[in-house]
Structure 1
Amino acid sequence: MAAYRQQYEQWAEGQLGEIRRHNAAITAMTTGLRNGDPEAAVEYFSAALYASTGWPEGLPRQVSAAYDAGARQLVLNWELPRYDVVPEAKSARYMINADQVKDSPRPVTQRRTLYRDVLAQCLLLVLRDLFAADEFGALESVALNGFVDDHDPTTGRRAPMFLGTVMASRSTFAALHLEQVNAVTCLVDGLRGQLSTRPDQYAAVRPGRVPEDVGNGVVTHGGGEEPDLYEMDPIAFEGLVADLFRAMGMQAVTTQRSNDGGVDVDALDPTPIRGGKIVVQVKRYRSTVPPTAVRDLYGTVQDAGANKGVLVTTSHFGPGAHTFANGKPLELVAGSELVDLLHRHGLRGRLGSEGGGQAPVPAQRTAPDSVREADDDDHNVLGMYWSGNVALDVCALVCHGNRVLDDDHFVFYNNPRTPDGTVRALVPLAPDKAAIQVSFDALPERADRLVVIAAIDPVANPAADLSGFTDAGIRLLDAEGTPLDRLDVSDGRDDETALVLGSFRRRANGDWEFVTGGRGYRGGLEELVQDYGIEVE
């Protein structure tokens, strides 16, 4: 009990220290703001923009600003979303027979009009948030320039291109009824601002006043060199994760390195009902996080009496990890999701050195068309089982969408493995009747789907159909043969001789999830594979 009390007192003292430092920083900032200190003004209003609940998630948040104390004017450059924020497709229609989604393109003029409206709304939202945050009378006016950070079509080099600019006084802006205005008309006519007529082509406007014109220091947030999370000191990385939890409105402290019980960050979510104690483990990996790490976290959650466990990594998770976490109070945060969360909450970080830190680089993903041999210790086994004595050929297709990459990526009895060995047929072990080994993380970059199919063996059962294919499923095993999950598949039907059992689909963060199939074919394996782009002679 004494040891527990000492541990609690250390934790409580750390919490109080964080609160004192936070309050002291707030006091210093507000004092500086009242005294017209430019640095305090920039820090305060930048924080207000980053804390805005009106700014949509996923849109960029980069600001460069300076404060003119004499004119009580904030001058800032704020990053706007790029043209691709408006979807190229106007609508989508699912074609059930082809199992495909067909997009209807949006007219170019309509897309341009929508993009101009988005830009105008963004600029008006920034003005509203700034004036609303000014509780100290520090702002008489705001000079706002909106830019996109992309490749200049004239030079081909990456550079900020200004698509909108406006200078608005407090009194003029206060007279607006934003709920009733047309955003473009309000910005251009009501506030006498400028907005690019062809923002889709990055036709720039000339900003009226930029931060460099003010004459004192310019403060920039959100840009610059992003720290490489792979190369970050482990303790600093844990501190960054704790900062992220605090930025998300939680209390969080890093644990002491010794006797931490497998916990790197202790967090507390104060939200009623769904909040509570959270234990966080941090894995600065480049390769796939094994399912054992997820199982260990679950044990830690139970031992600590926590409400939830979170595993944060610079890498990603395989199907086994997601399968184990499903239905448990566990959350898995892969590297790409971590970078997105950091940027969304005003923090910085990137994965690897590619792209100069402009965009997250997925961990352990091969370049397009590259080939590397699968790691024998980093794979899963798909064991297929079913009742009845019907003989089946179980095959796999490595696809992009609904098209196999090429004939070599169709694994069946005459082609037992892909060229890189990432997918290969195995001799099954009881109770399985067929087995396939898959190294998900070594699959080609362009592959986003692994389709598992079954067909009647025409030699062994020339007159059979799939009516005897019942009580079927797929056992998901790790590299050591440990069962991770059982995946249900559809039963066979009369007169059908081939069936799509299901597909593993790559998610946006690089992880894989299983989607049950069920489509049957009367023309056997030949008809099925033709639907996936294989020509049968």
Structure 2
Amino acid sequence: MSRRSAGFVGAWAEIQRQQQRQAEAEARLRREEERRARAHQRSLREYGQAEARRRTEELDAEVAALEGLLAAGCRAPAFRAASLTRVAEYPPFDPGQLARPVPMPDPARYQAQGGWTAGRRAQAQAEARARFEHDWYAAQAAETQRQQRLAALRQDHEARAQAVRDEVARHNAGVAEVTEGVRRGDPGCVVEYFSAALHLSTGRPEAFPCRVTAAFDPAARQLVLDWELPGYDVVPEAKAVRYVAAEDRYKETARPVTRRRALYRQVLAQTMLLVLHQLFAADEHGALDSVALNGFVDARDPATGRQAHIFLATVMAPRAVFTELQLEQVDAVSCLTDALRGQLAARPDQLAAVRPGRRPQDVAVPAAGPGGDQEPDLYGMDPIAFESLIADLFRAMGMRAVTTQRSNDGGVDVEALDPAPIRGGRIVVQVKRYRNTVPPTAVRDLYGTVQDTGANKGVLVTTSGFGPGSHTFARGKPLELIAGPELVDLLHRHGLRGRLGDGGRAAPVPPRPAPADPPGDHNVLGMMWSGDVALDVCALVCRGDRVLSEDHFVFFNNPRTPDGSVRAVPAAAPDRAAIRVSFDALPAAADRLVLVAAVDPEVNPEADLSGFTEARVRLLDPAMTELDRLVVSDGRAGETALVLGSFRRRANGDWDFVLGGRGYPDGLEQLVRDFGVEVE
């Protein structure tokens, strides 16, 4: 090979090597770019997944806060009037530079300069003295001006501080005046005080609305409120968030509609209970016997298309009943609708309204005054006038009502016609102006009158009250029993007047004092069972096979014994009913505590106990820790009431559980009659 061809080959080989090196460099660059792209994509995916988890956790935390709304609110401190008082605080006087006096000139610094001759020295001394005097007079003027400015500044500061002290004194005097007005039962002061208690409460989420309209009925000692509830959007529509890397976007998983609706009903019920709790907890002066609360949302009415207040919940809560509730353990919906007999919209998300109870604008406070300005005493009213008043009440409720003839009235004092479709119809009313408890025979007679006359309902109105036997007989029948305190409340609610003695104001039956239980001195008997049948679980305090008295029969209309040793309490899951018992506090004459269950004829009128299976009684300590689980008999077809079992006192004072099992085909009425409760 020639030298020339060898040089050409070498050059060509070098070019090939350079091209190969360049291709390898480009390949490395592409691989690095691909690696960086994959790392970037992985980083984006990891960030997206982390962000989706964070947003899902926020949704879970938001739902958990809604579910624990009532429990958290109950732990917040109660409102007190003292929290409204202020302390007069104003910064101390600070004169700043004005605190320093103007320095006076020092004569030693004003020495004559020069002057070797006597004449020049005298001239120099005169000039030095003139400079000193000039500076001294200037300093004196500046000091006088400083002192004047300091005095003016001090006077202005004192005036400002005194204005603050006066304003705080006026504010605190106003608080004291409102507090004293609450003690007196002044309607304006009561409304102002409890409105402040609601607005300043720390037990409610800040995002919830806080709009209230209130009025106070001093005769009934009842606070009546319209309270704004949170809207449906308070429950998050999304259940979870996930990151879709292929599309680089976040996708929300919708919360099931049924779950969202159920949670919203829980939120509404918890809000209603929390408002009641805050009001009664703030009532340090005992001004309230009851609270009538209506919950609304401000929304567009589906029926009219106009913006309106749509009421989704209403309840009238007596203090004696509400203070017995263990709010941190209740199911809010059951507590509101069952324990307090309130109403809650079944479909609040669709603004299915309920009919509110007493409204603030319905409260008409009569002017206090002597003679004819005082409300009539129902006890002392003429019988004919009393019957006319009851007829006026039914007319005020939107019905047509007339009093009957005094003879041959067939046991009917007032006849009323309710024009409402479905629930309306003919109503027969008996009026009993009694001071003692109405006997069960009167209730049974009314039922016979309803059957004889073909009426749709019978109502027995009295100025006194009813015993357990009367309530038991009326259960599940077209009968309504209105006792004295409820009658007074109805009269006031519909603009009529009346009182039950007590110097001119409505006198509700005072609650029986509940003895304070020492810590650990009670048990809770939690009742659980399978099946959909709705049951009333009751307790009888007995000696042998006889109840000690009708007041020792604890059931839906008598939630506790006179001494409070046995009381019905809201059940905590998994229980469906609960009875609280202080065994050591049971009467000495009692040797049995009998537990019974009966089908609720208002909920399941056609049911029997064949659906009552897998029944258990859980024995719980005060901390709701399960100590034991007692098995009871299943129900049987054709029976509607059942003795579950009884706790029996042994000779050493301890109690043993003895299984029951006896069933009754005619319900609770037949069962309690066997234990000596008068039903006829």
TM-score, structure 2 as length reference: 0.31
TM-score, structure 1 as length reference: 0.39
> Which one has the bigger strand percentage?
1
Structure with the greater alpha carbon radius of gyration: 2
> Which one has the bigger helix percentage?
2
